[in-house]
Amino acid sequence: MPEAQATDIFKERLKDARKLRGLNQAELAAKAGLPAASVSHFESGPRKPSFDNLKALASALNVTTDYLLGRSDTPEASAETVGRLHRDLSKLTEEDLKLATEFVGLLAKQRGAKASE
């Protein structure tokens, strides 16, 4: 992904997640332990957060860093749950991974059907 495109995705995702959580820029900054101007710069300018600031923003917004960076499209997944699932993947066999993938697909399909009812 070109760097300009990644920066644009981050800016949009940060703004979308902040609005989803009902926070203004100053509230997000306070929750993440950042200066108020930082969130404004991240959302509107070419400035990018450090790794530590990215983690603080994701934690304050209860989203994953992957969501903020455009690697995941679901802001609802909490970082804690995703981390726990990721840690357990190494314990699964190839057959277990296939079964888990099918199960997750089934759950997503079922959730989609319920949402359209």
Residue 52 sits in a domain of what CATH number? 1.10.260.40
Domain of residue 91, residue span: 81-116
Contact 97, 89 (CB under 8 A): yes
Question: 58: closest CA among 86, 94, 83?
Answer: 83
- At residue 6, the pLDDT reads 63
pLDDT, one tens digit for every residue, the chain (117 residues): 444 566 689 999 999 999 999 999 999 999 999 998 999 999 997 789 999 999 999 999 988 888 899 888 777 665 566 666 777 777 888 898 888 888 888 887 887 765 555
Closest CA to 42 of 64, 13, 19: 13
pTM above 0.85, yes or no: no
Question: In 3D, which of 97, 64, 104, 95 has the Cα closest to residue 82?
Answer: 64
Q: Exposure of 67 by Cβ count < 10 A (0-12 exposed, 13-18 middle, 19+ buried)?
A: buried
Structural domains counted in the chain: 2
- The verdict on 47 and 94 lying in the same domain is no
